[in-house]
Homo-oligomer: A and B are copies of this chain.
Amino acid sequence: MMHSLMSTIDKIIGFKTAQAHCDIPCKIYDPATAQLAALSCVRLMDLIKEIEDKDSLSVADYTQIARLVSEKESAGTEVKDAIRIIWGDYFKTPQFEQVPHIHDLTHSIMLQASKCKQNIDRTEGEKLVELINIFADAFWLTKNIPTYRAICPYPPALDIVYPDLKN
């Protein structure tokens, strides 16, 4: 049934139009939002781990777990939304040529963000941060902005891709 899917889509929306039209209200796209949210996931996992390391849990600890989980859920959703916006609104044919695997990368980020919502294992959070670093590198590549890596100036102090705007 799906074998002629893309030709059907071609007919429906017309590719030339799709490439040329502008979906963007303000052209201000920045992966910083997704990066901050991914760092929050890791940080919240660390704070959950601190509670996990206690010998016994009080009701106050359970309330703290509920708070941390709720924030982690929000951070995971914010990652998904922020990446969906850049991928779905900014990336079009010219960018696909520069970053041919962007569909797979974006989908991997969705799966990894889900993992971070479901798990409290820090290594899952670190993978999410790294996938978004790759996405950030790809994004800045399409903008012809060089990048560098540095430790972010707050916990969890992970290596983050930044645009190099100084010169």
Number of interface residues of A (CB under 8 A): 93
CA–CA, A113 to B76, complex, Å? Answer: 23
Asked if A23 and B114 make an inter-chain contact with CB atoms under 8 angstroms apart, the answer reads yes
Asked if B48 and A39 make an inter-chain contact with CB atoms under 8 angstroms apart, the answer reads no
- In the assembled complex, the CB of A137 is this many whole angstroms from the nearest CB of chain B, namely 7
Task: Please pick, from B13, B28, B63, B137, the residue contacting A48 in the complex, using a CB distance under 8 A.
Answer: B63
Asked if A148 and B130 make an inter-chain contact with CB atoms under 8 angstroms apart, the answer reads no
Chain B's closest residue to A103 (CB) is B103
Q: Is the interface of A mostly helix, strand, loop or mixed?
A: helix
CA–CA, A72 to B106, complex, Å? Answer: 26
Task: Please pick, from B5, B22, B40, B51, the residue contacting A26 in the complex, using a CB distance under 8 A.
Answer: B40
Asked if A2 and B65 make an inter-chain contact with CB atoms under 8 angstroms apart, the answer reads no
In the bound complex, residues from chain B placing their C-beta under 8 Å from that of A40 are: 26, 28
Asked if A166 and B165 make an inter-chain contact with CB atoms under 8 angstroms apart, the answer reads no
- In the assembled complex, the CB of A4 is this many whole angstroms from the nearest CB of chain B, namely 9
- In the assembled complex, the CB of A2 is this many whole angstroms from the nearest CB of chain B, namely 5
> Which A-B residue pairs are the 4 nearest by beta carbons?
A88-B110, A23-B114, A103-B103, A150-B165
